[in-house]
Amino acid sequence: MRLTARKFSNLSKMIDFYSQFNPSPLSIKHFVDFGMSACEKKSFLFLRQELPVRLANIMKEIHLLPVNLLRMPSVELVNDWYAQSFTEILQFEKLDYSSDNLDRFCDALIKIRNRHTDVVPTMAQGVLELKESHEVDSQTEFSIQYFLDRFYMSRISIRMLINQHTLLFGNEMQNKERKPMHIGCIDPHCDLIGVVKDAYENASFLCDRYYLASPQLLVREHNNNEDGSIRIVYVPSHLYHMLFELFKNSMRAVMENHADNYPPIEVVIVKGKEDVCIKVSDKGGGIPRCQTDQLFQYMYSTAPQPSKSDIHTVPLAGYGYGLPISRLYARYFHGELNLLCCDGLGTDAIIYLKALSNEANEVLPIFNKSSTKFYRTTVPVGDWSTNTGIIGSRQISTLKAPYGLIN
């Protein structure tokens, strides 16, 4: 979308205006309670204000990225997508909630969602373009990591709002015939074992294609509060995304560290008073401790980078964005994703989800002076000394003495 100088000036003013407001985080309970009564007028009035706020907050941060990254063709394309979507939402800013406008609004949301389908691989391609054309220093890498965490979290939240509205009020509501118990994209009785098995089977299909075999799955539950299978109020597609990524990683590790007799992948699901924990354990050789922190870095991957022709495929490994984005899905509703690696044996990945829907609140990025500083603050200098270098802003002089002379 090419903007004239006048339109660009007006767009900038509107972005500045809406970025002054903080996003309004919702809980899963809020989504469910609203979905039970499902008033399209209320949803329209809320989204036509909330979506511009969420878009404007993250668009302000896009413009704080290093200039070299902003000039990459793929990043310019993503920036144009956001500008176009922001402009289209603003068209409904002062319209009434007539039946015709409600239909147009729903169609606009679907159009925006479809436009942003490839945002993740396109932004990833932009980072690759930067790495191939410029030397990336530690400060630039720090800024990119900080931004992408916030950018992708914002994207998750915006898609959540759009999906809820279009599933409840658009033509997509026909999906209710297949999933009658769902409230939008939320399942009030999400069967965790069912999602685990779906994610495993699809990851296993990919593994079979690549390695002509795949490890088996063992699942068990431990429910501290009630009898029967563990079910919670959650978004199955979010959980599936996390599990699918973990299974892909585990299968790749197992297949590449065992010639045959592949050890199974074990999953344990536990429901406590506050959290639901899903632990995925493999015996794929583990990861050295020095590499575990890098696994959540967007500019790091243990697998070869995919070619541009693979951008729309689902390879067993790719850009290295799987784990960082999976952790964002977990954190989006106040959960977490941790890795516990035992080098030489295997890896335990633990997904934490809130057991109570009223405590599962959205975690959203906010543009303000504090966030702005992260793009200009230099990477901290090390303040701990070791015989391999300096870590953390001061050396500790007492560590300089020979070991035998320290009292």
Which residues are designated catalytic?
241, 245, 248-249
Distance separating the N- and C-terminal Cα atoms of the chain:
69
Helix (H) / strand (E) containing 115: helix 99-115
Angle of helix 138-169 relative to helix 40-62, nearest 10 degrees, comes to 170
Would you give the distance in Å from CA 373 to the centre of its chain?
A: 23
Q: Checking DSSP bridges between strand 389-391 and strand 384-386, what pairing results, if any? A: antiparallel
Q: For the chain, how many helices (H) and strands (E)?
A: 13, 9
- Residue reference for tokens 């997509």: 172
* Closest by CA position to 284, among listed 337, 243, 344, 338: 344
With beta carbons less than 8 A apart as the criterion, state whether 300 and 212 touch: no
Alpha carbon distance 250, 406 (integer Å)? 45
- Distance between CA atoms of residues 252 and 323, nearest Å: 14
If you search the block for the tokens 């992708």, which residue do you land on? Answer: 152
Contacts for 404 with CB less than 8 Å, ≥ 6 apart: none
**Residue 389, beta-bridge partner list:** 386
Q: Return all residues near 83 (Cβ < 8 A) that are at least 6 apart.
A: 1, 3, 11, 59
* CA Rg value for the chain: 23
Give the CA dihedral 106, 110, 113, 118, nearest 10 degrees: -170
Cα distances (angstroms) measured from residue 399 to each of 192, 290, 298, 389, 393: 50, 22, 34, 13, 15
Q: Are 44 and 82 in contact (CB under 8 A)?
A: no
Both tokens of residue 266?
């074990």
